[in-house]
Amino acid sequence: MRQSRLFTKTRREAPKDEVSKNAQLLIRAGFIHKEMAGVYAYLPLGLRTLEKIKAIVREEMDALGAQELIMTSLQRKEVWEKTDRWDEAKVDVWFKSKLAAGGDVGFGWSHEEPITEMMTQYLSSYRDLPVYVYQFQTKLRNELRAKSGIMRGREFVMKDMYSYTADAAEHKKIYDAAIDAYLRIYRRVGLGDRTFLTFASGGAFTEFSHEFQTLSDVGEDTVYVHRGRGIAINEEVMRDDVLSKLGVARNELEKAKAIEVGNIFDFGGAKSEQLSLFFKNEAGENVPVHLGSYGIGVTRLMGVLAEVFADDKGLVWPATVAPFRIHLISLGKDGDEVARAAEDLYEVFKNAGLEVLFDDRDLRAGEKFADADLIGIPTRVVVGRDALAKGALEVTDRATGAVELITREEILRTYHA
């Protein structure tokens, strides 16, 4: 993409009412547009990063044998009444509306109920199991507080997967596999060294649920990390009996603030009983299907990456999720030798299959470098007169600031798609 064709522009200042660092930087860099508190549009750069994250998540879900679908955002009141979660005293984040033809609808904040009810049409025998399905769905939640940018929004994209199995033993296989898949996702997006499987309250259905928490000073949760075992304990279950069951001592734990970036939950057969999802086992008995739920806030993950990896100059994207792999900057004037060399290099990069944002704008070098720092693409390749005279290009690593002069052929060998 030519930066001169990019309709978004960088900004010196974020909106005065935006207090979160992730949204301030993403707005200033032209990745997102703020519609209202907790509601953001994703612009071309932001959408590219979001799609990179989704692609990683999709690969890991497909590797589990899960099948992708997409459910409706409008949801029937009657489905949620069966599980007593239409009641706003039980679920306080509903957006609801009246239909012109009569009746009430809700706007999807979660999808356990609709997907499970849908499965009554497709699952009836042990031969139909197991089934794993997932979606990328825009969720709508009437959050009281929406001050954390895209890390806690009223409208956001979530990947939610649901497992339908015959029994607890079969459920445990996919549950454990999902834990491994989630940890791979966090490693692939660059958060592996600071994201921990976290034991949290299991509510009415199980002793523990599991969260995935990324350490950050802006986190809303407090966790206790055991780095040796790669696990954490949410403060809400930080008790002596829990420590004993997990086999850890209090003095082995490090207290830290963290951001929840995923959760997995075992519903057992309770929700299937409420929604009449039964199957006939090999003995011919009607048995409730065992349900598991697995969520990752995809837009939240993007916000966490913006928070965690930013520096005082702007965003710093890991290579796996950056909107482009290379930021090519021309320091030439229209039609001169440097500009022609940059144009030629842009075509070479494109033909080699490299993802390149080409700053071909007629601006001063300082303005281009400041924008490049703000946007945060991992590798900056500068075409300037001095480097060209040496038969080389200036390459800067955004994360470390390291600069080296290397040839075009070396760049192609290093970054070839």
- Is the C-alpha dihedral spanning 133, 63, 212, 218 positive or negative? negative
Residues 6+ away with beta carbon under 8 Å from 286: 278, 279, 280
**Residue 317, domain member (yes or no):** no
**Residue 233, domain member (yes or no):** yes
Amino acid at 319: A
Q: What are the tens digits of pLDDT across the range 112-150?
A: 999 999 999 999 999 999 999 999 999 999 988 888 899
User: 365 and 298 in one domain?
Assistant: no
**Residue 60, domain member (yes or no):** yes
- Name the token pair of 339: 């500009």
Q: Count up the domains in the chain and report the number.
A: 2
Continuous H helices in 125-196: 168-188
**Residue 48, domain member (yes or no):** yes
User: 303 and 346 in one domain?
Assistant: no
- Name the token pair of 38: 């907790």
User: 368 and 304 in one domain?
Assistant: no
Cα–Cα distance, 34 to 32 (Å, whole number): 7
Q: Which of 305, 368, 308 is nearest to 338 (CA)?
A: 368
How far CA 69 is from CA of 218, 241, 333, in Å, comes to 34, 41, 50
Return the DSSP state at 194. G
Query: Taking the C-alpha atoms of 155, 378, 3 and 384 in order, what is their torsion angle to the nearest 10 degrees?
Result: 170
Percentage of residues of the chain with pLDDT beyond 70:
98
Q: Which CATH number does the domain housing residue 122 bear? A: 3.30.930.10
Domain ranges, residue 109: 3-309
Mean pLDDT of the chain: 94
pLDDT value for 257: 97
pLDDT value for 271: 95
User: 368 and 299 in one domain?
Assistant: no
**Average pLDDT estimate for 382-397:** 92
User: 143 and 46 in one domain?
Assistant: yes
pLDDT at 242 > cutoff 70: yes
Q: Looking at the whole model, is its pTM more than 0.85?
A: yes
pLDDT-wise least confident of 40-44, 298-302, 406-410: 406-410
Three-state DSSP at 61 gives helix
User: 166 and 226 in one domain?
Assistant: yes
Three-state DSSP at 364 gives coil
**DSSP bridge pairs for 170:** none
User: 142 and 59 in one domain?
Assistant: yes
Q: What are the tens digits of pLDDT across the range 198-231?
A: 999 875 445 678 999 999 999 999 999 999 999 9
pLDDT value for 207: 67
**Residue 151, domain member (yes or no):** yes
**Residue 321, domain member (yes or no):** no
**Residue 57, domain member (yes or no):** yes
pLDDT at 29 > cutoff 90: yes
Q: What phi-psi label fits residue 53: left (phi over 0), alpha (psi between -120 and 50 degrees) or beta?
A: alpha
Residue in the structure block whose two tokens are 């508190």: 37
User: 210 and 163 in one domain?
Assistant: yes
Q: What are the tens digits of pLDDT across the range 304-340?
A: 999 999 999 999 999 999 999 999 999 999 889 999 9
pLDDT value for 413: 87
pLDDT value for 387: 86
pLDDT-wise least confident of 140-154, 182-196, 293-307: 140-154
From 252, 278, 309, the end of a domain falls on 309
pLDDT value for 144: 85
Cα–Cα distance, 286 to 40 (Å, whole number): 46
Residue in the structure block whose two tokens are 């300037």: 384
Do residues 214 and 191 make contact, with C-beta atoms less than 8 angstroms apart? yes
User: 230 and 125 in one domain?
Assistant: yes
Q: Which helix (H) or strand (E) holds 358?
A: strand 356-359
User: 363 and 278 in one domain?
Assistant: no
Higher pLDDT, 182 or 152: 182
User: 187 and 75 in one domain?
Assistant: yes
User: 332 and 284 in one domain?
Assistant: no
**Average pLDDT estimate for 242-256:** 95
pLDDT value for 146: 81
Q: Which CATH number does the domain housing residue 407 bear? A: 3.40.50.800
